[in-house]
């Protein structure tokens, strides 16, 4: 029998699949679950909380809606990731989740485009 944590992660995966209109994949990572679509990571489920990807462009809207950033402690410091909670009502239905999921998806696409534009770092030569 799946744990309640796994059940919530599977629920979020199905909800995001319907909200985006793209199949989402779920995998365990960082003590929680990572969600991706078409190979792009755009969400985490950690401690029964769904976090969606944000960036400089989208973050002000998320903060204006009261969404909280994903924070964790590492080496005595608080680290803030560019993922935010969603409004509670977004978890109720695919139509309510759609604008939030689409925003997170757009952030993932922009991040991929930025990464593709960066020149590759030269490798150190051995010997």
DSSP readout, 18-42?
Answer: HHHTS-EEEEEETTEEEEEETTEEE
Q: Per-domain residue ranges for the chain?
A: 4-114
DSSP conformation class of 47: T
- Gap between the Cα atoms of 127 and 124, Å rounded: 10
pLDDT, tens digit (0-9, with 9 covering 90-100), for 82-118: 999 999 999 999 999 999 999 999 999 999 888 887 6
pLDDT, tens digit (0-9, with 9 covering 90-100), for 55-83: 999 999 999 999 999 998 889 999 999 99
The answer on pLDDT for 1 being more than 80 is no
Q: Which two tokens stand for residue 122?
A: 């030269």
Phi-psi region of 77 (alpha: psi -120 to 50; beta: other; left: phi over 0): beta
Q: Which two tokens stand for residue 91?
A: 């978890």
The pTM of the full predicted model, rounded to 2 decimals, is: 0.86
CATH number for the domain running over 4-114 = 3.30.1460.30
């Amino acid at each position: 029998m799946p744990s309640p944590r796994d059940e919530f992660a599977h629920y979020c995966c199905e909800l995001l699949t319907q909200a985006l209109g793209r199949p989402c994949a779920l995998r365990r990572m960082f003590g929680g679950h990572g969600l991706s679509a078409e190979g792009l990571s755009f969400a985490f489920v950690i401690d029964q909380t769904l976090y969606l990807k944000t960036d400089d462009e989208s973050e002000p809207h998320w903060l204006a809606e009261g969404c909280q950033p994903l924070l964790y402690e590492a080496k005595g410091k608080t680290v803030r990731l560019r993922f935010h909670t969603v409004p509670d009502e977004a978890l109720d239905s695919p139509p309510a989740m759609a604008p939030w999921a689409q925003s997170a998806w757009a952030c993932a696409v922009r991040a991929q485009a930025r990464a593709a534009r960066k020149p590759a770092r030269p490798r150190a030569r051995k010997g």
